Amino acid sequence: MDPHLLRTFVAVAREGSFSAAAQELGYTQSAVSQQIAALEADLGVPLLTRRPVAPTEAGTRLLEHAGPLLLRLAAVRTELTRLAAAPSARLAIGLTPLAATDRLAAALARLRADLPQLLVTLETLPTARALAGLATGELDLVLLDGIAAPTDPLHLPEADQTPGSVLMVAEEPLLLALPDGHPLAGRRESGLPELVDARWIDAPEAAVPLAALRAAAHTDGFRPHLRYQGTDPHALTALIAAGHGLAILPRRAVDPRLTGVPIGRPRLLHRTELRLPHPGTPAGRRLVELLSD
Amino acid sequence: MDPHLLRTFVAVAREGSFSAAAQELGYTQSAVSQQIAALEADLGVPLLTRRPVAPTEAGTRLLEHAGPLLLRLAAVRTELTRLAAAPSARLAIGLTPLAATDRLAAALARLRADLPQLLVTLETLPTARALAGLATGELDLVLLDGIAAPTDPLHLPEADQTPGSVLMVAEEPLLLALPDGHPLAGRRESGLPELVDARWIDAPEAAVPLAALRAAAHTDGFRPHLRYQGTDPHALTALIAAGHGLAILPRRAVDPRLTGVPIGRPRLLHRTELRLPHPGTPAGRRLVELLSD
DNA sequence: TACGGTTACGCTTTTCGTAATTATC
DNA sequence: GATAATTACGAAAAGCGTAACCGTA
């Protein structure tokens, strides 16, 4: 199970074509065919159907493992490279859409004082991409957000890839965002279970994703009636205000034109967490120190 | 970063010798030398010092990743092999020392009725070995125990290796086990933080490991005054009764000769969890069904 | 000097590309 | 019949073992 073979298998499965994968990876179609054949021979199972090219049952299982495996492989490589390489004067930061950036911004200002010619890059991206960025070394630092029980760290899919420091940056209450006239708007607080069958807007990049609620509440409810793919908080506010459905947001992100009802019963918080991989960059480590004060 | 090279590197680091690793893996000393050289060339960093043979800083980092990586690689292989192979009439179960086995025993009895000629094997082993056994296919099913917040699953080191089913088998209160005359014995309950600096017995195989308490309480207290390596509950009871120190146990495991004070404040429970890898064996799946009723 | 890791060298195996072949839509 | 995967084959590279070669206790 050479990583090389794994990589081409993933590419073929993603592209749905041997030739497309070959082009993508800089091989000939023949080489890819041979690699897949080698992998299937090694594992003793067909991994792909041909015409159309699609993963078999076994192939699907392998795909579930291949991603994390390749990511971790990349993570080791960056880790060791960083250990040896000259410290760079760059700090590439990845942010998930709802990450609380106040303390980060303040700390960055102080970091500027220490390292005037540091090039700081900020980029907003989904959680999975942020973790992948850490692994490949494209990012030096990420700020992730999600929901968690009071003192617990975030529960990330495919986590503990990159051992490193985890620093809690912010914890704030979760609010149910409602249009002003809504029947629930008068409530002092609301429990999550009673909201399972409400009319929900799934806005994975502008509010707490419904999938995260399902995971936290151990249920398969919270089904979306409307999905908003964008990141614009105003657009989401408008949708909620117009009565298209509800969403759950960290307090800070609830527009004043809406009513926010605290979520009570399962004690859950919106948590923002900084992750600095091992060993990190000098600027990253310094930033963590500044944030720890 | 061929898994082959990784495996060799791990062996060399563990043995502290190229020749010993070569013998262990069935290579010549020369081949091992070349493999390590290739790995170092690939990563661009020396991984081992020679004479004496010991991991460098970079080598240590690589070792931290190599274990999980190889384990996961093994897990995929078993998973795919199981998918293809004929269903075996074997059920190898791994148990961690404090796993609650009542429901398992009952379910096994009912399983016997369905599958009279099934060979069931039970084996007690540490958590890490149990997870490794699942990965390699030596075990079909494991019962793990640990401490966790009320509805949360166990937080395992190097977890989510093997995607599969997780079934909660038992949750029971944690008790502080005390000798009868102890000052704390009169208390109705006790909080964990106030116990950080007590006189502790670390009995990782006969009680909740102190390391688990440290992790759960986010502290580096709970330092052992005495360590008991065995698994015998009577021996531990004798040590506690003789005043050598305290230990925390699931309620069921506290000997009647001792006083058990419930742990209050951080709401923690002793949890026993069954893990069945994907796709598992037929007998394993049947057992999970029986346990789910 | 001896023990143990490295290097040189040759053989074998693997791997890839070109090109001919086959199979499916 | 065209598109796309497979197979055949030769060239290049990688991997391992034997054996000669250091470098350190």
Higher pLDDT, A277 or B188: A277
With tokens 């409602």, the residue in question is A178
Q: Which of B62, B56, B128 has its CA nearest to residue B97?
A: B128
Determine the Cα–Cα distance for residues B108 and B102; give it in Å rounded to an integer. 10
Average pLDDT, chain B: 89
B160 interaction partners in chain A (CB closer than 8 Å)? 157-160
Tens of pLDDT, residue by residue over A89-134, are: 889 999 999 998 889 999 999 999 888 888 999 999 998 899 999 9
| Average pLDDT of the residues in B252-278 | 88
Q: Which DSSP string corresponds to A135-163?
A: HHTS-SEEEEEEEE-TTPPP--TT-SSS-
Tally of CA atoms within 13 A in the half-sphere of A100 that contains its CB = 22
Residues B257 and B134: beta-carbon distance below 8 Å: no
| Average pLDDT of the residues in B260-276 | 88
Question: Whole-model pTM?
Answer: 0.85
**Any A CB within 8 A of B85 CB:** no
Residue A162 has pLDDT above 70, yes or no: no
Quick count: other Cβ atoms within 10 Å of Cβ B80? 23
Residues A133 and A252: beta-carbon distance below 8 Å: no
Closest nt to residue A29, judged CA to C1'? D5
Strand D nucleotides in reach of protein CB atoms, 7 A cut-off: 4-8, 15-20, 24-25
Residue A73 has pLDDT above 90, yes or no: yes
Angle at the Cα of A195 from the Cα atoms of A216 and A247, rounded to 5 degrees: 80
Token code pair at residue B219: 């502290």
Higher pLDDT, B1 or B159: B1
Angle at the Cα of B154 from the Cα atoms of B153 and B159, rounded to 5 degrees: 110
CA distances from B283 to A19, B15, B118, B134, B136 (A): 42, 38, 8, 15, 18
Determine the Cα–Cα distance for residues B7 and B21; give it in Å rounded to an integer. 10
Between the two ends of chain B, the Cα-to-Cα distance in Å is 46
Q: How far is the CA of B262 from the C1' of D4 (A)?
A: 68
What pLDDT score was predicted for residue B184?
A: 77
**Any B CB within 8 A of A159 CB:** yes
What pLDDT score was predicted for residue A115?
A: 87
Q: Which of A93, A114, A134, A14 has its CA nearest to residue A284?
A: A93
Q: Which of B57, B62, B80, B83 to mutate to test the interface with A (most CBs of A within 10 A)?
A: B80
Is residue A86 very low, low, confident or very high in pLDDT (cuts 50, 70, 90)?
A: confident
Report the SS3 class of residue A54: strand
Do the chains contact at B45 and A83, CB–CB below 8 Å? yes
What pLDDT score was predicted for residue A217?
A: 81
Determine the Cα–Cα distance for residues A163 and A274; give it in Å rounded to an integer. 13
Determine the Cα–Cα distance for residues B37 and A127; give it in Å rounded to an integer. 37
**Any B CB within 8 A of A37 CB:** no
Q: Which of B61, B77, B84 lies closest to A80 in CB terms?
A: B61
Determine the Cα–Cα distance for residues B187 and A46; give it in Å rounded to an integer. 63
Q: Which residues of A105-142 are buried (b: 16+ CB within 10 A; e: fewer)?
A: eebbeebeeeeeebebeeebbebebbbbbbbebbbbbb
Residue B222 has pLDDT above 70, yes or no: yes
Determine the Cα–Cα distance for residues A80 and B236; give it in Å rounded to an integer. 44
Tell me which protein residue sits closest to nucleotide D23, measuring alpha carbon to C1'.
B51
Is residue B155 very low, low, confident or very high in pLDDT (cuts 50, 70, 90)?
A: confident
Q: Which of B166, B149, B160, B190 has its CA nearest to residue A266?
A: B149
Angle at the Cα of B179 from the Cα atoms of B173 and B182, rounded to 5 degrees: 100
What pLDDT score was predicted for residue A161?
A: 62
Tens of pLDDT, residue by residue over B21-36, are: 999 999 999 999 999 9
Tell me which protein residue sits closest to nucleotide C24, measuring alpha carbon to C1'.
A51
* Cα dihedral A95, A101, A107, A111 in deg (nearest 10): 40
Is residue A219 very low, low, confident or very high in pLDDT (cuts 50, 70, 90)?
A: confident
Q: Which residues contact B140 (CB under 8 A, 6 or more apart)?
A: B90, B91, B92, B93, B276, B280, B281, B283, B284
Residues B263 and B178: beta-carbon distance below 8 Å: no
Residue B160 has pLDDT above 70, yes or no: no
Largest distance between two CA atoms of chain A: 67
Higher pLDDT, A267 or A80: A80
Residue B285 has pLDDT above 80, yes or no: yes
**Any A CB within 8 A of B158 CB:** yes
| % pLDDT > 70, chain B | 98
Specify which of B52-66, B180-194, B216-230 reaches the highest per-range mean pLDDT.
B52-66
Smallest Cα distance from A77 to chain B, Å: 7
Q: Which of B196, B249, B209, B202 has its CA nearest to residue B226?
A: B202
DSSP state of A115: -
Average pLDDT, chain A: 89
Quick count: other Cβ atoms within 10 Å of Cβ B195? 19
A280: exposed, middle or buried (C-beta count within 10 Å: 0-12, 13-18, 19+)?
Answer: buried
**Any B CB within 8 A of A171 CB:** no
What pLDDT score was predicted for residue B218?
A: 81
Determine the Cα–Cα distance for residues A89 and A84; give it in Å rounded to an integer. 15
B positions 88-147 inside 8 Å of A (CB): none
Domains of chain A: 3-83 (1.10.10.10), 88-162+271-292 (3.40.190.10), 171-269 (3.40.190.10)
Does residue A279 have a cis bond before it (omega within 30 degrees)? yes
Q: Which residues of B114-125 are buried (b: 16+ CB within 10 A; e: fewer)?
A: eeeebebeeebb
Determine the Cα–Cα distance for residues B191 and A31; give it in Å rounded to an integer. 63
What pLDDT score was predicted for residue B133?
A: 93
Q: How far is the CA of B8 from the C1' of D9 (A)?
A: 34
Do the chains contact at B45 and A80, CB–CB below 8 Å? yes
Single-letter amino acid code for the residue at A33: S
Angle at the Cα of B284 from the Cα atoms of B283 and B287, rounded to 5 degrees: 85
| Average pLDDT of the residues in A263-274 | 88
Do the chains contact at A62 and B75, CB–CB below 8 Å? no
Backbone angles phi, psi at B268, to 5 degrees: -120, 150
B3 interaction partners in chain A (CB closer than 8 Å)? 1-3
Token code pair at residue A74: 């990349």
Backbone angles phi, psi at B189, to 5 degrees: -160, 170
A3 interaction partners in chain B (CB closer than 8 Å)? 1-3
Q: Which residue of B has its CA nearest to A151?
A: B218
Residues 7-26, chain A: which have Cβ under 7 A from strand C? Answer: 26
Strand C nucleotides in reach of protein CB atoms, 7 A cut-off: 4-8, 15-20, 24-25
Between A201-210, A227-236, B2-11, B152-161, the lowest mean confidence (pLDDT) is in: B152-161
Tell me which protein residue sits closest to nucleotide C16, measuring alpha carbon to C1'.
A31
Token code pair at residue B168: 């909660």
What pLDDT score was predicted for residue B161?
A: 62
What pLDDT score was predicted for residue B159?
A: 59
Q: What are residue B124's DSSP bridge partners?
A: B95
Determine the Cα–Cα distance for residues B147 and B127; give it in Å rounded to an integer. 13
Q: Which of B32, B40, B46 has its CA nearest to residue B4?
A: B32
Tally of CA atoms within 13 A in the half-sphere of B9 that contains its CB = 31
- Dihedral sign (CA B224, B226, B231, B232): negative
Is residue A231 very low, low, confident or very high in pLDDT (cuts 50, 70, 90)?
A: confident
What pLDDT score was predicted for residue B158?
A: 65
